[in-house]
Chain A
Amino acid sequence: MILRAIKKWMGLAEGDGTASDMISCEDALAGIYEFLDGELDDPSSERIQAHFDVCERCYPHLASERSFKAALQRAVDNQRAPEAVKSRLMAVLAETTM
């Protein structure tokens, strides 16, 4: 109810980002990857964030993409070059001249 009141005050229909500087659902979803990748300038990023803050239909998509990204990063979190690889590389470099 509070969310609907806020949207009404902002001049938004539910799920419809058409206030004066509120972008549409389609534009928010189209920009979701650039937004999450930190590739947008501050004004564009803020507009997209503002949409996800109030749009009940779009927010789950943002959460889903974040969950996906987190899973990918977690998969390589503890991946390091084995010590043996490091040792052999150092040995090869020590024998090499520029």
Chain B
Amino acid sequence: MDAPESGKVSFQEEALPHLDAVYRFALRLAGSPDAAEDLVQETFLRGFRAWDQYTPGTQCKSWLFTICRNVFLRQRERGQRHDEIVQKNVASGGGISGTGVSVVNPVWQASQDLDPEGEFFSSIVDAEILEAIDGLPEEYRTAVVLSDLEGLPYAEIAELMEVPVGTVKSRLFRGRRQLQQKLYEYAVEQGYISPERQDVAG
């Protein structure tokens, strides 16, 4: 049965404008441009087929992100994606304690005398930042990408990830701290910041 022409037009008008955002999200999930394209195509195909289930005027971008993430997770469960970077990063610790995490960021503490306003972040190249994001555990990475890169509010992220808002906040907190730790270490390595004592938490 051919799709009604009006249905196709509506999908093009409402869903396709989010292609760049879905591609960016897919790239962070899948880790390579080829895998991201597969994920994007599958996402939009499923969205197109399920378009009658979408309520026009609601959060289309979040709806597409939800489909994208679900496709990614199912593929991963089937063993079609293997995140070796994440395994290495988790094994190396990440520098975050399991309980009693301080409100004072360890990276702030380490850099406060030399670079109190974190200007070293602006010296780090984009590729290194993206690699650091890709190295986060999937749950933290998804939360950081959806909040910091795509600007989704906590409530939408919670619905997308099927967790409470409190869990989103926790994942963002831990994901950001891990990311900052990694970028701080990279900045020290590159000489963007030169602490006399490298006593970051870890």
Contacts and interface: CB of A to CB of B under 8 A. Distances in A.
Interface of A: 26, 29-30, 33-34, 37-39, 60-61, 63-76, 79-82, 85-86, 88-89, 92-93, 96-98
27 contacts: A30-B103, A37-B147, A39-B154, A60-B116, A63-B116, A63-B117, A63-B118, A64-B116, A64-B121, A71-B121, A71-B122, A71-B183, A72-B149, A75-B130, A75-B133, A76-B24, A85-B23, A86-B19, A88-B41, A89-B40, A89-B41, A93-B8, A93-B48, A97-B2, A98-B8, A98-B49, A98-B51
A66 B122 CA distance: 11
Given A68-B118, A79-B24, A37 B154 contact: yes
A68 B199 CA distance: 20
Given A68-B180, A89-B41, 19 more contacts: A33-B169, A37-B153, A60-B112, A61-B104, A61-B108, A64-B117, A67-B118, A67-B122, A70-B121, A71-B124, A74-B122, A75-B130, A81-B40, A89-B40, A93-B11, A97-B1, A97-B2, A98-B4, A98-B48
Contacts of B103: 26, 29-30
Contact of A74 (B23, B126, B147): B126
Nearest to A84: B37
A4 to B, nearest CB: 19
Contacts of B147: 37
Contact of A64 (B4, B45, B118, B148): B118
Chain B, interface SS category: helix
Contacts of B40: 81, 85, 89
Among all A-B residue pairs, the 6 with the closest Cβ atoms:
A64-B118, A81-B23, A63-B117, A98-B3, A60-B116, A67-B118
A82 to B, nearest CB: 8
A75 to B, nearest CB: 4
Contacts, number: 122
Given A81-B19, A85-B37, A88-B37, A29 B104 contact: yes
Contacts of B130: 75-76
B173 A67 contact: no
Interface in B108-157: 108, 111-112, 116-119, 121-122, 124, 126, 129-130, 133, 144, 147-149, 153-154
A8 B84 CA distance: 55
B118 A80 contact: no
Interface string B16-32: 00011011100100000
